[in-house]
Amino acid sequence: MQRRTLLLTVVLWSLVTCLSANEPVRGAEDGDGERLLKAMRQLADGTIIRQKDSPDSDSFTLVDKPVFRYSDQPRRIVDATLWVWTDGVRPVALQKVEAYVRNGEPAWTICFASFSPELLEVRWPDRTLVCKRPGLVLEPLPDPPALAEGEAARSLQLRRAARRFSSRIVHDPRNDVVEQMRLLPRPIYEYANDEAGLLAGAIFGLASNGTNPDAYLVIEVTRDETGAAAWQYGVVRMTSGGVTVSLDDREVWTSEWLHPSPLPRESWMFFFLPRNVP
Amino acid sequence: MTSHLSFQPPFDWPFVVAGAGAVVAVWIVLRLVVGKPAGPARRTGLLVLRAATLLVLLAILAGPVRVDSSAGAVRRPDVFVLLDGSQSMTIGSPASRWDEAVAALSTAASTLEPTVVDNSLHVFRFGHRLSAVDDAGNAIARSASKGLPPGDTRQLADRLRQGGPTDSDTRLAEALRQLSGRFGQRPPGAVVLVSDGRARDAAAVEEMAVHYGERGIPLSVYPVGSLARGGDVALVAVVAPQRVRKFSDVEVQVFLRSFGYSGRRTEVQVVGLDDESRPQDVLASLPVTLRGGAQSVTLSYRSDTRGRTIAVHVPAQDDELSPRNNQLTAHVDIDRTKIRVLYIEGGEGPLRVVTRGGRRELDGPFGELREMLTEDEDIECVVLSELPGAGELYRVSSYGQATGRQGFPETQAELSAFDCVILSDVAATSFTEEQLDWLARWVENRGGGLVMTGGAESFLDGGWGGTPLAELLPVSFADSQWLPSGEGEIAPTDEAAGHSIWQIVSDREQNRAILDAVPPVEGLHQGLEPKPLTEVLAVAGADASEPAPVLVAGRYGRGRTMSLAVPLTAPAAEKFLHEWGPSGNRHAGKFWRNVVYWLTEGSSIGRRRLIAAADKRFYRPGETIALSAVAYDETATRTTSYSVWAMIEPKSLDFDDDSLTAPVRWPNALPRESGEDGPRIVWGEEFPLPRTADGRYELPLELAERLSGGAGDEGLRIELTAYEGGGDGTGFSRGTQVDSTSLDIQILSDPFEQQNPFPNHDLLRRVAGVSGGRVLQSPDELAAVIADLPVAVGPPVISTVPVWNRWWLWGVLIGLLTIEWVWRRGVGLA
């Protein structure tokens, strides 16, 4: 009887070991801010982004500092930064660099998404992403407000417009694991260029685990042919989860759930790299 | 217009006579000297031509003109109508004072000739400020000219309705002062004041009326509003959270004002509205004794699974001035942020492998509770269990799709990802001291919810005495004892029957019956002592002289805790789990989900990096908002290494408003980088929150003494953002954003408009009396004031048109001369 109990225990123990990860998460000691940030910057610097149709053109400009820093303990992301590339007028790409614990080992997750209406070609030291479709498709914003004068007032208007949106994410369709996403109140990035007819623009994060933005809401105000202000919005995913975005409680954008694998997608992808920085 | 012909020769008659005499004299002299003209020159035809030519010339010289004469212009004196647009004009039943005023104006207009009012009638509305009602005179004229029946308000009301009685103050004296600047070159014939007379500055109004009278401008008044009423009850404001958790208690703060009903009892109700804004169900009600003046009450209701619009309502009194101000609405959304439960099961039981959703999972004594919890899609459950003989905790299910890890969270940051921890029959020795410290800090600082259930390894028997968790649990258990064969009755106390964890079904009677039938559980911890300020939600031995507390709830720091003296897993809780209610574990599942929702009501902060708070939910003008924030780094450790900036946004983005500043004074101690130098913070202007010695960010924000426009209430949204690694620059140069959050602040004033709902007709009479005006009682009298004004008629307008200055006349003259010349040439005279 004792042998059978011992055998059952060993079998179940093995099963538990298979079902769960083997190694513990490293926490605070992993988040040694400065060293991680320096390594993250190097990884961002090593990313070259160009327009697909003009590979000989200059690459886009990386904003000096990461625009957002976050962690996501449920996903074992102990520290992460978000970087922005611009074409001098508006952002064309965002990339996450995440200090991750993968199967118990320190790793980097690189997650890139195009925000460009053009097709991009992205090169990392060991791989390339050639976008098959634009990363951002803008749609007219219904019932837009009259554009206010002044940068501060416009910024408030962008926030107010963003709060008309809500979103949810499907983490696991088999088990119906769905979660409401949180709109980060402050834009992750704001931009404007009057000469280019871009009167105001902002990228808002839609987060599902506290502060980790899985998708992005872009709201722009441009000057149309008649000189009037035209409000537009678009959504960009940076997750394999299925995202649904609603505007005034009406669904306006969806992306299907994808099996989480590091494969190039049409305008975004993620992959892992070994992490030597403790 | 009349016309006649007149002659206006360029010369007077003596000159003409003299000239004619001179011509005759010259003719005679020439005749005497030269003799008769030649024969051909005396032909009759030529003479006729010359005579005709001479007649034409004489006609021109006579200066014939046509004189047009029209009557002088009728100058009607200007009439200024001042229409009260303040909020007190919304009072009235069945028609509001505003409707009464608009109807009177329209009726009066319909009896007037369009020309009477044409451009001389000027309608202004007053309240917080004076403003012209565009084209009001023309609207009235159109109304009249179309022959609309008396009382038809369409034309004028369309114009006036664009504003409505929305002003939150009545500055009548200021309006009269400003109006005098709009009079033009001559004073108006009359000023008509259409109002309820409820004005802030009554003494100044009378002074202005005297001044008008001295200038010869009578102020006639048209009082509106009924005095034959008992009083009024008005809801001033409703403060409800914009977003709440499912199945949580929603507190609704109601501010009401009453007048004339002191001591009378009424009831405040919170009513749920359906999608078409119709009343659906009464969510909460509270009897109230009216005290006169302002008072506040708090009601609470239980949220369900969907956001909804609520109406707060006070029944109208029989003789109330206006029932329209007895209801206000608010919308409350549901926050469906995922609740993460860490369920630690120490009880031994049979383990087996099951297949769910195509995946193999380990099932055991924890399986039923895990399944009950995850029936709610907003709850995620991670289970730690002790395997038989292993003596350690292992993770048997994990976060969503992510792969799991062994054991208890290995960092404080990982623990902070959870909202609730269930300790079921697990010994204290299963945790390290550090882990117990993390748990205590997690409850106290991060608002986690912790529940310990009964079992051989719980409370004192599990070695929990003297641990950090003994301090935060809601019971003392120094003298407790685990009785494995004791019957653990679970009898909800009468006082706790309304507690959210006991809301199994919505029907009150049915719910009471369900609570009376909670099955017993085998095993009980005897000797648990509820700590002060805790709630006993269920007892065992309810009929005994000293019932034993079974379920006790309490609060610790930001978090909530609960102790359950009985076990929750089979076989001890077999009946509780399977025989409570007709449909299996439905009631037990709802009970446990209620427990999780109650425990986690304060834990929405769980995975955020910036937590902000204000000391109150609503403020009075002049009070100070104590704004504070706490920031956490990636290890969930509180930090002050970030910079935290705030900015204020209005609830209503009306940038046409003349107020571009928040009703908040710029903090004196703070340097200002925005370039603004006014005393108030500009909407959207950013300011830093200073760090404090105890690891917080704090800033007192002093509210202005008066809200913009004298409003009764005003909402603010304060947005806070934590940055890392930035200086004190502006915009995104501040550094890298770490998190942002926002707070809704409500400011409630006690505006003059709502302090006395009765009209003040006495003031209006005095105004008319001292200025020489009349008190008008009907639309006909109002029309008469306009129609009977003396009309000034100007001198007739005369215009003259020269009749001789015509082309054909000159053509005849030239033609005659030409014929005469050609003729003479033909006969050899030229």
**B711 pLDDT tier (thresholds 50, 70, 90):** low
Closest residue in B to A2 (Cα–Cα):
B389
Across the A:B interface, residue pairs with CB atoms under 8 Å apart total: 205
A27 with B411: Cβ contact below 8 A: yes
Contact yes or no for A81 and B414 at CB 8 A: no
pLDDT of residue B606: 56
Sort out which chain A residues have CB atoms less than 8 A from B650's CB and list them.
Answer: 156
Token pair, residue B365, equals 């004594």
Distance of CA B339 to the CA centre of its chain: 32
Q: What are phi and psi of B156, to 5 degrees?
A: -70, -40
| Cβ distance of B394 and A16 shorter than 8 Å | yes
Beta strands in B651-774 (DSSP E): 661-665, 680-682, 686-689, 697-702, 713-724, 736-748
Kind of pairing between the strands at B79-84 and B190-195: parallel
Chain A residues closer than 8 Å to B738 by CB: 68-70, 211
Residue of B nearest to A158 (CA): B653
Chain A residues in contact with B637 (beta carbon < 8 A): 28
Tell me the backbone φ, ψ of residue B503, rounded to 5 degrees.
-85, 85
Mean pLDDT of chain B: 84
Report pLDDT for A8: 45
Nearest CA in chain A to B374: A177
Are A25 and B405 inside 8 Å of each other by CB?
A: yes
Percent of chain A with pLDDT over 70: 87
Mutate to test the interface with A, among B401, B408, B647, B685 (most CBs of A within 10 A): B401
CB contact under 8 A, A70 and B351: no
Residue of A nearest to B408 (CA): A24
> Chain A: nearest CA to B434, how far in angstroms?
14
Q: How confident is the model at residue A26 (pLDDT cuts 50, 70, 90)?
A: very low
- C-beta of residue B617 within 8 angstroms of C-beta of residue B238: no
**Order of all β-strands in the sheet with B249-259:** B232-239, B249-259, B293-302
- Find out whether B687 and B670 touch, Cβ atoms under 8 Å: yes
| B687 dihedral zone (left: phi>0; alpha: psi -120 to 50; beta) | beta
**Mean local confidence (pLDDT), A229-238:** 96
Q: How many CB atoms lie within 10 A of CB B46?
A: 18
Instruction: Write out chain B residues lying below 8 Å of A183, CB-based.
Output: none
DSSP B150: T
Testing the interface with B: which of A41, A71, A244 to mutate, by most B Cβ within 10 A?
Answer: A71
Closest CA to A72 of B413, B749, B289: B413
Q: What average pLDDT does the segment A213-223 reach? A: 97
Which residues of chain A lie closer than 8 angstroms to B275, CB-CB?
Answer: none
Pair of tokens at residue A159: 């926030």
Q: What residues of B are in contact with residue A73 (Cβ under 8 Å)?
A: 411, 413-414, 416-417, 607, 636
Is residue A237 within 8 Å of residue A61, measured between CB atoms?
A: no
The C-alpha of A129 sits at a distance from chain B's nearest C-alpha, in angstroms, of 26
Whole-angstrom distance, CA of residue A59 vs CA of residue A121: 10
Closest to B387 (Cβ–Cβ): which among A16, A24, A145? A16
Contacts of B320 (CB under 8 A, 6+ apart): B93, B229, B230, B231, B232, B233, B326
What integer is the mean pLDDT of B621-634? 91
B233, B256 contact by CB (below 8 A): yes
Joined together, the tokens standing for residue B9 give 């020769």
Query: Which residue in B399, B737, B744 has the most chain A C-beta atoms within 10 A of its own C-beta, making it the best mutation to test that interface?
Result: B737
CB contact under 8 A, A78 and B413: yes
- The better pLDDT of the pair A206, B355 is held by A206
The answer to whether A69 contacts B736, with C-beta atoms less than 8 Å apart, is yes
ω into B64 cis (within 30 of 0): no
CA dist B461 and B551 (Å) reads 18
Note whether A207 and A193 are within 8 A (CB). Answer: no
- CA contacts within 13 A on the Cβ side of A158: 31
The model's pLDDT over B565-593, given as tens digits with 9 standing for 90+, comes to 999 887 888 888 888 887 665 799 999 99
B136: confidence class by pLDDT, cuts 50, 70, 90: low
A1 pLDDT exceeds 50? no
Q: Which helix (H) or strand (E) holds B233?
A: strand B232-239
Give B481's Cβ-side CA count (13 Å radius): 4
B565 vs B705, which has greater pLDDT? B565
**Residue B22 confidence (pLDDT):** 92
B353·A15 Cβ contact <8 A: yes
Task: Write out pLDDT tens, residues A79-126.
Answer: 999 999 999 999 999 999 999 888 778 999 999 999 999 999 999 999
Stated length of chain A: 278
Yes or no, beta carbons of A211 and B738 under 8 Å apart: yes
Q: Write out the H or E segment, with its range, that includes residue A130.
A: strand A127-130
**In this predicted structure, what is the pLDDT of residue A30?**
41
Which residue of chain A is at minimal alpha-carbon distance from B352?
A: A12
Q: Where do we find the tokens 């009479």? A: B765
Copy the structure tokens of residue B303: 């949220």
B353: nearest CA in chain A? A12
Contact (CB, 8 A) for B695 and A30: no
pLDDT in tens, B308-341: 999 999 999 888 888 888 999 999 988 888 899 9
Mean pLDDT of A175-201: 91
Are the C-beta atoms of B164 and B88 separated by less than 8 Å? no
| Per-residue CA distances from B477 to A159, B473, B595 (Å) | 52, 10, 21
Which chain A residue has the Cα nearest residue B418?
A74
Residue B721 CA to its chain's centroid (Å): 25
Please check whether residue B597 is in contact with residue B247, taking contact to mean a CB–CB distance below 8 angstroms: yes
- Return d(Cα B630, Cα B613) in angstroms, integer: 9
- In the chain, the amino acid numbered B744 is D
